[in-house]
Amino acid sequence: MMRAIEVGFPIVEINRLAVPERYSFKPIYQMHKWFARRASCVFRAILLGALKPALGPDGKATDLMEEFYKDHTHDPDTAGKVVLDPFMGGGTTVVEALRLGCKVIGIDLNPVAWFIVKTEIEPVDLDELQAAFERLAERPVDWNGGRPLRDTLLDLYKTEISPGIEADIIYTFWVKHAICTDQNCRSEVPLFNNYIIAQKTVSVWYYRDVSCPHCGAQYDWDLEVASLIADPAMMINAPRGSSGEGRPSAAWSYAPIAKKPTKPFFVQCPHCQVKDHPRLSETKKLRKKVPLTVLLCPACEAVWQWRGSLPQGEIICPACKHNYDPLRGNVPEKGKFFAHSVERKTRSSTASVCCPKTVVFP
């Protein structure tokens, strides 16, 4: 019998699924790293193409994308069929075949691959697993005064945001350091090609050109937050173009709107600062793209956000008011770094950072 994969394969549709999956694998595949792990949607489609007949009972060609989202555990075309993977690696074929109800034989010379796949597919008693986790979490750590392992590890992921006030760390950024070769300095200098931590263009819903009933000025009413950080005090808007792409001169304001509002919504006008129910020029919501850049200040090490296209030249840190060019770090070329004489300001002290010279490092 001719199989569906011999007639056609939905390459374009599967590619659309594979691209985002590469950035967010299913939890079972995050159990352990494996070399060049392939997207699971690709293997599911291949298995379905190899197991499904080219024509359905109605005589029409089998639509693999229609079959893709069905439950196949009791499908006579897949249930009980034997799939052999003699080089199973991280086990993507094995897991996807089991999800289709197949019987699977997986082989690999690498014992790590064998252990990873075995752990991915073997039954787990969740109560026993939780109990084992709690025993491990409460295990005393000798070098930490007998404190539980849970507290010992969590303490490693805390930071002091101001004297006496701690917060949990969400992200850790690793930065290479070098020692200044000046014998009167010997400071440890973090190495940055630039001070950009992240850049992203987000898409938000908005109403275009709403009118303020107070002053009559127009602005964009954003219905979703466009931000990569949480602290409003650290969000700076470009003087031009912060409203989004294609809206270079538009002012904007943000206020969420309920799906079924029971009373008029009030939005603060960016021109007169009065909160009122704006007049809509059109009732249709639109989408726009807003460029965002998360920056690090080299003087106070504050992390802050710039909304709009990042300009050429210097900008001002909202935390310490230090002027700097975020595109120019202290590594002008490979093998060299600047040990700038900059006062690094913190909430507790002010200290001079290194000397004004260019240092060569290996």
Buried b (16+ CB within 10 A) or exposed e, 253-276: bbeeeeeeeeeeeebbbbeeeeeb
pLDDT of residue 174: 84
* Helix 40-51 / helix 11-21 crossing angle, nearest 10 deg: 150
Q: Which two tokens stand for residue 173?
A: 């950024």
Give one DSSP letter per residue of 203-244, joined into a string.
EEEEEEEEE-TTT--EEEEESS---SSS-GGGEEE-TTTTT-
Give the C-alpha separation, 319 to 9, whole Å.
55
Domain chopping of the chain, boundaries = 4-121, 196-294
Please give, one letter per residue, the 3-state secondary structure of 288-312.
Answer: EEEEEEEEECCCCCCEEEEECCCCC
pLDDT of residue 219: 95
Give the C-alpha separation, 131 to 137, whole Å.
10
Cα four-point dihedral sign 299, 301, 305, 311:
positive
Q: Which of 318, 293, 295, 292 is nearest to 192 (CA)?
A: 295
Our CA dihedral for 76, 77, 78, 83, rounded to 10 degrees, sits at 130
* Helix 40-51 / helix 92-99 crossing angle, nearest 10 deg: 60
Q: How many CB atoms lie within 10 A of CB 144?
A: 13
**In the chain, which stretches have pLDDT less than 50?**
341-362
Residues 6+ apart with CB under 8 A from 351: 343, 344
pLDDT of residue 185: 79
- Nearest-5° Cα angle at 275, 229 to 261: 80
